[in-house]
Chains A and B, each alone.
Chain A
Amino acid sequence: MSALYLRNRWFEDLPVGEFHVFGSHTFSELEIIEFAKLYAPQEEFTQPDIARDLRWRGLVATPWHVTAMWMRKMVDYMEVYAQGVNDGRRNGAGVGVSNLEWFEPVRPGHTITYTYEIIAKSDKVIRDKWGIITSRNEAFNQYSNKVMQFEIDILAERGGA
């Protein structure tokens, strides 16, 4: 196979500066409430009628909901390129997040677009076979306002070339 599909590539094949738009998601009132009931039961995230009179003047998505959707968008996007690699073999675990910030609330009906850019590759070798890819990830709403950003270190299997 000549083509290098995203998930078929080794650590060594991934260039700093590579950029992807993972896709968009429109948050519904129902899913905002369902998520918050389990993870953030404050009225601001679970009770639309009460939230209207609270600090954000309306229901908003809990911050981790906005971030968790980044993961879903990444998985879906990468699956398109998986080409049969579905065991996660070269697509390792996340090890850490830094500088995660939420800038403005996401409300029902807002459409959030998620982007990813590789910003660094560490020389460190983990358990003899994993390298660390650092990416900057951003999320924008339908007005092109940034609602979230973070950096994440994800393991990628070494051994190509």
Chain B
Amino acid sequence: MSDSPNATISTVCSAPLTLNEACITEFAEQFDPQPYHLDKQAGLNSIFGSLCASGWQVAALGTRLVGDGLAKEGYTFIALTRVETLRWKRPMFVDEDLVAKVSIVDMMPECSVPECQTAIIEADLNNSNGECVAVMRCHAAIDLGDDV
């Protein structure tokens, strides 16, 4: 854990996580039951060109990866409180990896989550070819831990 509330980190990468077909269709059945997230053939005929993950699944998974990246630097990530911007750049297809490249660009002492401070995060969510799937600028609640 950092001593200074103003400490920023340049870039840290999470370990990759993969979404297989069952992961993608299970999420879609529950939260985003549109044909191109549920069915291979419908995916082929769609604007995306293949079965792909819901953008909300990418966001949730990417946020988990942001937490993993922050943990590598000793920060305990609790939850997002705000997403200033999230842009989906390309689809995430079956069996692709996702990696988060995380930068803390600022820290603020105030936070809406109890016992936390806020890290302003910029994250690139990339697939295994290094292509950007989504990019996000968000506010993360970080546990104050022993700094209190």
Contacts and interface: CB of A to CB of B under 8 A. Distances in A.
Given A55-B116, A75-B34, A95 B87 contact: yes
A39 B31 contact: no
Interface stretch (B8-16, B45-53, B102-110, B123-131): B45-53
B88 A150 contact: no
Contacts, number: 105
A101 B86 CA distance: 12
B94 interface: no
B63 A100 contact: no
A40 B31 contact: no
Nearest to A62: B79
B33 to A, nearest CB: 6
A contact residues, range = 35 or more
Contacts of A96: 85-88
Given A95-B87, A150-B83, A75 B33 contact: yes
Interface string B76-103: 0111111111111000000000000000
A66 to B, nearest CB: 11
A92 interface: yes
B30 interface: yes
Contacts of B61: 39
Residue among A71, A75, A101 with max Cβ neighbours from chain B (10 Å):
A71
B32 A86 contact: no
A88 B82 contact: no
B42 interface: yes
Given A75-B33, A101-B81, A68 B114 contact: no
Given A55-B116, A72-B31, A88-B46, 16 more contacts: A39-B64, A40-B60, A63-B80, A64-B56, A68-B30, A68-B31, A71-B32, A72-B32, A86-B35, A93-B47, A94-B55, A95-B87, A95-B88, A96-B88, A101-B82, A102-B80
Q: Which 7 A-B pairs have the closest CB atoms?
A: A100-B83, A64-B60, A39-B60, A55-B114, A68-B31, A97-B86, A96-B87
Interface of B: 27, 30-36, 42, 45-48, 54-57, 59-61, 63-64, 67, 77-88, 112-116
